Structure formats: structure tokens, C-alpha cells
Chain A
């Protein structure tokens, strides 16, 4: 971890509302985060938790009519204050995004080469140099026959190869931050391993910061330095990956850990009752109150503020009381 270094990305009390059928709906209640250079932050959450919206807010690519409050600084500068030219440069050069479905983000009528060269040719007139750089980057992400691939179309490549092309497109811009939104969810496990290894390797070699957005706690724990767990538009817990995985301090994190099926045994799974709620459905109290087994009156009416406990940032009124209880629960869930 890179404690003490100036964060590259700092989000403070981000709140986002989106217009849905003539009314504003809250999609993010309160998100505060930092990512340092060279650090991998995992954002883990279920559908509707706001994890992808957080990434879009970072890119300043929220849907039209979105209302944003709070602060979002990149390298010390507020993104909201960038003018059109600087914002363009920020999106093109500073931050790169990798999506779940590469096919949906490539023009099927254009070759891989044309897709990859678009960015570099904006910056240089020397086409041969640009091609050489693209080829080198493709080789770095494990595509050995790069020259041949440049002339192929997206439909001629498998999902795993296309995702590597996507990563190459992100890297070729030499960004400082990578936002990877479920980059391996559509891939087979063995391909996932390859893609994650490439991402981790590139982040390490290039001192890149990465935000890895995923629904998979195990994947996040294996790759990230720190994990932020989101639920209904709120970060309920943010802690070093190992500590969060081994000793969750929030009931939702503990529930999520306990509900995963295990490879080493067949046992009745612990479940979280009900379904994940969206941010706009949450009441005035804790967003997890309707599903929490430890809920008390206070949590139904007062939204807990994130605070520090044992090196975790946790948003739960009862975090201290529940320390022991959650520890025994997660031990039961992880021991055979």
C-alpha cells in the first residue's frame, strides 16, 4: 500500500441524482474514496449499489441532467472545474476505462488496428511510430501475433482476446488511472486469470492506479490493496483487502462473505434475506437496515456516518458491539 502519498483520485461526499421519468432519483448517497498512485482499489457491490455510477462520475460521463454534489479531485484539481479542452485531455490521457463487454464498445466495421490507432494518431503525425507503439502494447498484453490482429475485425476475436485489445487501448494512452468495470465478468475463469494477471502486471510496472469494480469479493480480495464495499449508493465499509476479508466490521460485508458458496464443502449457505435495494429505495436510516439481522431502532431513522474502527472505515451504529459477533460468524462461514 502507498500510505502517506498524495492521492491521485480523491472523492469526498459524492452524491448523484439522475432524472428518471420526470423526477430526480438518488443513485449515490455519500461516497468518499481515495486512490494513490500504484494502488489498486476494489469497489465491490451487487446490482444497483452504485459502483458503476461512481466510475462514470469519475470520468465525468454521467447521463444528461445528472445532479452531482461533493468533490472529485484528480491530481489535486477538481474535475468539475476543468474546461472543455482540459476535460477532453483528462478523459483521453489521464484516465482510461475498461468495460465488461468489449464488443459493445468497439465499432464492428472497423479493424482492431483502426480502433487502437485512433488515440495515438490524435497525438502524433508519425503513423509508423504509432503502429510500433500499438504493436508493442499488444505484445505486452499477451497478443503475440499483433501485426496480424491489427487487420482483423472484432468478430474474428474471442472475448478474452478482445478484452486484451481493450486493455491495450487503455494502456496505449499511458493513463495514470485505470477504471476497470467488471473487466472479467463475461470471461471464463482461466481467461479471467490471464486478463487479471496482465492488468496487475501492467499496473505494477507502470505505477498505475486502478479502480477494479466487481461483484466478486474473492477476486477483489486477491487483486486489490484496499476494498470499498458499496450498498445502495453508500460505501458501508472501506478497509485493507486482507483485513476486510478476514474480519469484516459491517454486517453487510459479513453477510456477503458468508453467502458465497465454498469450493471445499457443501453446506447450507448463510443468506441475506430479501434482495439488494437501490439507492432511491433506501429509507432515511441505514441503507442496509431492511435486510440487516442486527438492526435496531436508531438505524431505521438515522443514517450512520462513516467512521474509523480498527483501521476500517465503517458506516454502522453498532460496529463496536458487533465486532465479536461478526468475527465468530465469519469464522463459522469460512471454516470447514
Chain B
């Protein structure tokens, strides 16, 4: 059975049109995919592709206009959720955001921000809770001293480790990572990518990995969905998609990535070449 099943998901917003009236903006347009327990799936696309909206709907931070999100065989009821229902889904699904500067409370120590999550979801006594915090810190490669620190005195990479530890604290089955390594420096990004790969191997948690960066996706996810303007344009194994993309858009996306010998080309030039073939 799938851990996560997304069926014909749609999301539209009412926006003010150029002529003053309201228009419908379709952010997500009939997206379906499924994810097995412990699997890794990337949602790849550029801005406006709808990848983050899909992730936020799966996480329960937004509701779709129509379609179904089924977690562990249970369909999430439409509309606003009760606190109890949200908490139940939170046990299964956790999310890590792009900006660890904005997603952690600056006044709370790392240790207490992790303990807070544990208090909310588990009936641990104080000793057990503190052991678990230590274990989580160790799992994400933070030391005791960093556990006492506040986010302000940590680097971007360390903060992202804290965000990962908080997400792992509830022992979720699915971790949604929304551009989780995009804001990090290259040398630190490599450390966090390796950490994610290790955590998955160790805990068997499934990843829904939202990213614009195909090279990063290659390291973390075996499967991949390419989105454009709210719809899926291609899906398959990351390896196959990168080696032999079938959609013109995926080809364009891969060709635009700088690499040795790469030359930036104008759109007109690319279009002329495509037309010539």
C-alpha cells in the first residue's frame, strides 16, 4: 500500500485580472502521484510550477480546491481541519522549509525547541525526553553546546540541522523538504545532503523533496516528477529522466544547467534550433 497517494489535485486562486475583474489562477492542475513507505520522490520545477503548493497541500498547510490526499489509506477530509485531526496527520508528515532563519523561534534554545515537539506528541517523562533530544541532536550532527544555543548564534547549515531534528522528533513516516538545502553554501550544502541520505537509510523515512536543482535531486531521490505551470510534464526514475528526458521542457531545463563547456544561449537561438530539427 502507498504511504501517500495524491489524486487529481487542483488548486486555484481568485486574482485580480488586468482589466480589474477577478480571474482564476490555476496553481495546481490535476496532479496525481503516489509514494511508497520509505521511498524518495522529488517534485522538480521552476517558480510558478506549483511544486511548493502541492507540498503544502500534502503537509496540510493549505487545502486543495479539489482532489484527494490519502495518507496511509486515510483520505484527508476537505476544508479546515480540527486540531485533533491536524495533530494526527502531523505525526505522519513533517516539513522542513527553505529558510531556517524564518522557521525557528529566535528566543528558544535548540534543545527546548525540540523538547517542545516531544511534549506535544509523546507522554515521555523528563529523563526520557532529554535522552531523546540528545539522540536527535546526535542524529543530525549537532553537539551538546549547539543544543544550548539559540538559532541566532548558529550558521545556516546548523539551523537547517535543527529544523531536521525537530521534524524527525515525531518519528514521521514522510518528511517533506521544501528547497531545504537551496539557501546553504556549497560546502555546507554537501554536508546536509549527505546527512539526509544517511537519515533516510537509517530511519527508512520517506522523502517528498521539493527542489529546483536537478543535481541535488540526483543525490537524494530515486524518483522524480517534473512540473510546469501546475501540471506534471514528466515522471520516472531520476536517473532515466536525467539521462534521457522525454519532454521538451525537461530537456530545456537540463540544458540550462551550467557545466564545463556550457555556453549560455538565448531563447531565440534555442527555439530556432528546435524548429530546424
Contacts and interface: CB of A to CB of B under 8 A. Distances in A.
B105 interface: no
Nearest to A245: B260
B247 interface: no
B155 interface: yes
B188 A266 contact: no
A267 B155 CA distance: 25
B186 A189 contact: no
Contacts of A215: 185-186
Contacts of B153: none
A265 B218 contact: yes
A269 B194 contact: yes
Interface stretch (B29-37, B79-87, B262-270): B262-270
A266 B253 CA distance: 19
Contacts of B216: 261
B236 to A, nearest CB: 15
B186 A259 contact: yes
B187 A46 contact: yes
Interface string A244-273: 011000000001100111111111111110
A256 B186 contact: yes
Contacts of B254: 263
Nearest to B255: A193
Contacts of B197: 268
A22 B262 CA distance: 47
B256 A189 contact: yes
A276 B185 contact: yes
Contacts of B74: none
B252 interface: yes
A245 B259 CA distance: 10
B158 A275 contact: yes
Contacts of B214: 263
B264 A196 contact: yes
A222 B218 contact: no
A188 interface: yes
B265 A260 contact: no
Interface in A190-205: 190-194, 196-198, 200-201
B193 interface: yes
B219 interface: yes
B25 interface: no
A189 B213 CA distance: 9
A269 B190 contact: yes
Given A46-B186, A223-B264, A271-B191, A190 B252 contact: yes
Interface string A7-21: 000000000000000
Of B157, B264, B265, most buried by chain A (CB within 10 Å of CB) is: B264
Interface in A286-308: none
A222 B187 contact: no
A47 B242 contact: no
A216 interface: yes
A263 B258 contact: no
Given A196-B264, A222-B263, A260-B190, A190 B46 contact: yes
Interface string B192-231: 0110010000000000000011111011100000000000
B258 A222 contact: yes
B47 interface: yes
A264 B242 contact: yes
Nearest to A220: B258
B224 to A, nearest CB: 12
A198 B158 contact: no
Contacts of B266: 142, 194, 197-198, 201
A88 B172 CA distance: 59
A208 B70 CA distance: 57
B257 interface: yes
A290 to B, nearest CB: 13
A192 B238 CA distance: 23
A263 B264 contact: no
B190 A190 contact: no
Interface of B: 46-47, 155-158, 185-191, 193-194, 197, 212-216, 218-220, 238-239, 242, 252-269
Given A263-B254, A276-B187, 8 more contacts: A221-B260, A222-B264, A256-B187, A259-B187, A261-B219, A263-B215, A271-B191, A275-B185
